[in-house]
């Protein structure tokens, strides 16, 4: 006889009928709850088909759309890309055990179902033996993952309580600390009773599953039972079973399966199912591109941005339900890490609650938290289910700004940008001051050029950033690159305005710049500011521009590779690199900085996982309590490397870290430079100048 097993062993027709009635009732209850969620998602805006992947836009996808869906599912769900790159040392493997165990069990159950209810009867022979041992293996994998999660949650919750106790003591000792400290500290580490019940249910499911297998073997032993090795071993311990005992275990396991179906839409493990849809339809726009708000949209909705959750897109609403409350986003948030109110995990939960209740979004999150975001995208990068926190936050900011809720120094910056086209309010003529004594070609002089050197507001007028600007201009000159600058014709890219939420000021400045690009037939741009770089590269296309945009480290890296410049090689350990968020994380450029200055050391949070200096999202222009500056934490990390020079590749980072480095080491001489300066110093002296000397106008 071939190895196999009989389905519904010892079950008469009425028992089978009862089973089907119960299963269909449980599935109906599950479907009813899912329909409720889908109805909530559908209150959102339809997706912008031209910019977002066609997921959710069509019930029947085109071949191109289906390819995108499948690719995203393969990478982000089946490949677990985000989880594998997680910073959590024990969290990531645990999650992989649960995911692959769960998927294995679903696949095995589906195969069994096809065999039972279709004309194809393949559950026998060698297939059966492989199937049974694989089923036991994935069950064990799932069991290990769930047990690991239970233990981990238990200890994390205890350490969460320890942190809360510590926060209480700190608050008692210093009443000036933000009173939100307690709530703020508790959130990312907490576990609710629901979490333990969910894990308990999953544990029960898998254990009763093995018990059922063992009971079948105990009741009806076969020569090939060893292939079901877990159940077989269990059966050896429990001895023989009567039919009644076997049926009791069968119903006991079935009961928990039915409970699982009914509560699945309410349990966190629903994210495994949601993640398929979220990944399939995920926006295909780059991380650094914010959505364009059109005047037509404003006229139609009679508002700017998001007031109620239904003002988000359907995909963004659906993504909220995929949140597994893992807290990865909060753990990496620079604002949360310096004791601010902002907690990205809580932002997602509050918007989810607003989606259910119909309340306004901003009051739930609080304006204080909304303005604290630096738009660094660390949360987005860390989120395993692809939630785009920055999209969620900026769209609410847009609504607040349109209603006049922004005041103080940030509002002053917006007025300055509007009136002078310079974020610090300096007149256009000041944009050419840095050129004095140098021979810098200007577009308006009419010469040919291959690259527009985009200087930016800080690059033109901030004393530290001007050093970078001069170094870049000198390097381009030395390498024989034909470049030109716009000088007083350059206007702020509008990046700070857009990220604060003043969308139409961004569009006004960007439209002006695009028309200047057209006037001079600009094709390629190089800039030393990652914020300008991101905006020009990823967002100006929304206003009709098509440019090839380079960060200065990228172009300089090319020149080093070609042999037109010599890479800098400081003594190993002398220079610590701070990766800018908008270069390394948002635009995934990690190699270029390291290729122009070799042998740099980095703090643990580097590359795509770099730690924000606190300047992005308009925070540069907002008041900051000295004890809550993200740059202080970053400066400590950089100094802990033991380096005596800190190298940056962003004028904003340079401004923020300058103060923090001085504060951290008031008596130490810590040098703060841009990579371009180090590269310039490394060039051999020649006709066009050498270390520290910028080429002058002849």
Q: Which is nearer to ligand SF4, 153 or 328 (CB)?
A: 328
Containing 551, the helix (H) or strand (E) segment is strand 548-551
- Number of CB atoms found within 10 A of residue 574's CB: 15
Residue from 47, 214, 227, 382 that binds ligand SF4 (CB under 6 A)? 382
Which 3-state string (H, E, C) describes 672-684? EEEHHHHHHHHCC
Residue from 282, 314, 352, 389 that binds ligand SF4 (CB under 6 A)? 389
Q: State how far the Cα of 143 lies from the Cα of 408, in Å rounded to an integer.
A: 55
Phi, psi (deg, nearest 5) at residue 409:
-65, -30
- What are the tokens at 506? 């961004």
- Told to check if 80 binds ligand SF4 by CB under 6 A, we report no
Choose the stretch contacting ligand SF4; rule: CB under 6 A; options: 150-158, 325-333, 551-559, 596-604.
Answer: 325-333
- Told to check if 82 binds ligand SF4 by CB under 6 A, we report no
* Beta carbons within 8 Å of 310's beta carbon, 6+ residues apart: 43, 44, 45, 317, 355
- Told to check if 385 binds ligand SF4 by CB under 6 A, we report yes
Residue from 26, 108, 269, 335 that binds ligand SF4 (CB under 6 A)? 335
Q: State how far the Cα of 363 lies from the Cα of 369, in Å rounded to an integer.
A: 10
Residue from 327, 441, 637, 651 that binds ligand SF4 (CB under 6 A)? 327
Q: Which of 447, 587, 576 is CA-nearest to residue 531?
A: 587
Q: Which is nearer to ligand SF4, 108 or 379 (CB)?
A: 379
Phi, psi (deg, nearest 5) at residue 672:
-120, 120
Distance of CA 508 to the CA centre of its chain: 29
- Which residues on neighbouring strands pair with residue 597, listed in sequence order? 568
- What are the tokens at 694? 């910028």
Residue from 318, 379, 406, 647 that binds ligand SF4 (CB under 6 A)? 379
Containing 145, the helix (H) or strand (E) segment is helix 125-173
- What are the tokens at 499? 């990220």
* Beta carbons within 8 Å of 84's beta carbon, 6+ residues apart: 92, 96
Choose the stretch contacting ligand SF4; rule: CB under 6 A; options: 175-183, 200-208, 323-331, 530-538.
Answer: 323-331
**Count residues contacting ligand SF4 (CB under 6 A)?**
30
User: Shortest distance, CB of residue 282 to ligand SF4, whole angstroms?
Assistant: 13
Residue from 86, 218, 374, 461 that binds ligand SF4 (CB under 6 A)? 374
Pairing relationship of beta strands 483-484 and 645-648 according to DSSP bridges: unpaired
300 burial via Cβ count (<10 Å: 0-12, 13-18, 19+): exposed
User: Shortest distance, CB of residue 378 to ligand SF4, whole angstroms?
Assistant: 4
User: Shortest distance, CB of residue 297 to ligand SF4, whole angstroms?
Assistant: 24
Q: State how far the Cα of 576 lies from the Cα of 572, in Å rounded to an integer.
A: 10
Q: Diameter of the chain by CA atoms? A: 102
Q: Which is nearer to ligand SF4, 377 or 534 (CB)?
A: 377
- Told to check if 348 binds ligand SF4 by CB under 6 A, we report yes
Q: Helical H runs in 305-388? A: 314-320, 328-331, 334-337, 344-357, 361-365, 367-371, 378-382
Residue from 270, 345, 388, 431 that binds ligand SF4 (CB under 6 A)? 345
Of 564-623, binders to ligand SF4 (CB under 6 A) are 612
Q: Which is nearer to ligand SF4, 473 or 500 (CB)?
A: 500
- Told to check if 351 binds ligand SF4 by CB under 6 A, we report no
Residue from 95, 216, 316, 328 that binds ligand SF4 (CB under 6 A)? 328
- Told to check if 323 binds ligand SF4 by CB under 6 A, we report yes
Q: Which is nearer to ligand SF4, 330 or 513 (CB)?
A: 330
Q: Which is nearer to ligand SF4, 26 or 378 (CB)?
A: 378
Choose the stretch contacting ligand SF4; rule: CB under 6 A; options: 94-102, 241-249, 372-380, 561-569.
Answer: 372-380
Q: Which is nearer to ligand SF4, 378 or 575 (CB)?
A: 378
Choose the stretch contacting ligand SF4; rule: CB under 6 A; options: 214-222, 324-332, 427-435, 689-697.
Answer: 324-332
- Told to check if 559 binds ligand SF4 by CB under 6 A, we report no
Q: Note the residues at the interface with ligand SF4 (CB under 6 A).
A: 323-329, 332-335, 342, 344-345, 348, 373-379, 382-385, 387, 389-390, 612
């Amino acid at each position: 006889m071939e190895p196999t097993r009989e389905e519904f062993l010892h079950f008469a027709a009425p028992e089978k009928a009862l089973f089907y009635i119960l299963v269909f009732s449980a599935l109906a209850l599950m479907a009813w709850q899912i329909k409720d969620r889908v109805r909530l998602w559908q209150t959102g805006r339809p997706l912008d088909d031209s910019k977002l992947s066609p997921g959710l836009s069509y019930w029947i996808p085109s071949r191109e759309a289906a390819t995108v869906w499948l690719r995203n599912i393969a990478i982000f769900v089946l490949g677990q890309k985000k989880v594998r790159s997680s910073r959590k040392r024990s969290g990531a493997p645990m999650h992989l055990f649960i995911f692959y165990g769960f998927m294995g069990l679903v696949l095995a159950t589906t195969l069994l179902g096809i065999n039972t209810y279709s004309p194809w009867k393949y559950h026998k022979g060698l297939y059966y033996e492989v199937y049974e041992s694989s089923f036991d293996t994935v069950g064990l994998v799932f069991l290990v993952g769930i047990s690991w999660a239970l233990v981990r949650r238990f200890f994390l919750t205890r350490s969460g309580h320890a942190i809360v106790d510590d926060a209480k003591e700190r608050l008692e000792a210093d009443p000036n600390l933000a009173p939100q400290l307690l709530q703020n500290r508790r959130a990312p580490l907490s576990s609710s009773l629901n979490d333990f019940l969910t894990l308990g249910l999953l544990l029960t499911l898998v254990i009763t599953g093995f018990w059922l297998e063992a009971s079948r073997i105990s009741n009806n032993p076969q020569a090939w039972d060893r292939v079901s090795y877990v159940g077989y071993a269990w059966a050896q311990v429990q001895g023989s079973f009567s039919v009644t005992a076997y049926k009791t275990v069968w119903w006991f396991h079935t009961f928990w399966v039915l409970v699982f179906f009914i509560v699945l839409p309410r349990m966190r493990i629903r994210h495994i199912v949601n993640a398929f849809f979220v990944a399939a339809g995920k926006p295909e726009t780059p991380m650094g591109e914010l959505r364009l708000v059109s005047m037509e949209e404003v006229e139609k909705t009679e508002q700017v941005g998001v007031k109620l959750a239904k003002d988000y897109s359907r995909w963004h609403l659906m993504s909220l339900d995929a949140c597994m409350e893992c807290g990865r986003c909060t753990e990496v948030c620079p604002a949360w890490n310096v004791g601010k109110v902002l907690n990205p995990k809580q932002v997602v939960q509050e918007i989810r609650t607003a989606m259910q209740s119909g309340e306004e979004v901003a009051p739930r999150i609080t304006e204080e938290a909304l303005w604290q975001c630096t738009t660094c995208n660390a949360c987005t990068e860390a989120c395993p289910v692809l939630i785009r926190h920055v999209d969620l936050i900026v769209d609410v900011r847009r609504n607040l700004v349109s209603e006049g809720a922004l005041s103080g120094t940030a509002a002053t910056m917006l007025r300055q940008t509007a009136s002078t086209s310079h974020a610090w309010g300096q007149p256009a003529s000041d944009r050419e001051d840095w050129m004095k004594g140098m021979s810098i070609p200007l577009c308006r002089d009419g010469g040919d050029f291959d690259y527009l050197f985009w200087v930016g507001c800080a690059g033109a007028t901030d004393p530290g950033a001007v050093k970078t600007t001069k170094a870049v201009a000198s390097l381009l000159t030395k390498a024989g690159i034909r470049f030109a600058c716009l000088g007083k014709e350059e206007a702020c890219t509008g990046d700070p305005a857009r990220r604060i939420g003043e969308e139409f000021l961004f569009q006004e400045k960007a439209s002006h710049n695009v028309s200047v690009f057209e006037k001079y037939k600009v094709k390629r741009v190089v800039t030393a500011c990652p914020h300008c770089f991101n905006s020009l590269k990823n967002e100006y296309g929304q206003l009709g521009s098509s440019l090839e945009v380079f960060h200065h480290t990228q172009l300089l890296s090319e020149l080093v590779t070609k042999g037109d410049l010599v890479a800098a090689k400081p003594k190993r350990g002398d220079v610590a690199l701070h990766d800018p968020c908008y270069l390394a994380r948002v635009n995934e450029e990690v190699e270029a900085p390291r290729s122009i200055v070799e042998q740099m050391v980095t703090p643990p949070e580097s590359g795509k996982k770099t730690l924000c200096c606190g300047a992005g999202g308009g925070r540069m222009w907002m008041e900051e309590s000295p004890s809550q500056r993200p740059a202080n934490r970053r400066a400590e990390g950089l100094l802990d490397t033991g380096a005596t020079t800190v190298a940056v590749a962003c004028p904003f980072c340079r401004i923020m870290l300058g103060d923090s480095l001085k504060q951290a080491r008031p008596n130490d001489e810590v040098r703060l430079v841009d990579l371009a300066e180090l590269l310039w110093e490394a060039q051999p002296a020649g006709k066009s100048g050498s270390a520290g000397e910028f080429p002058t106008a002849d």
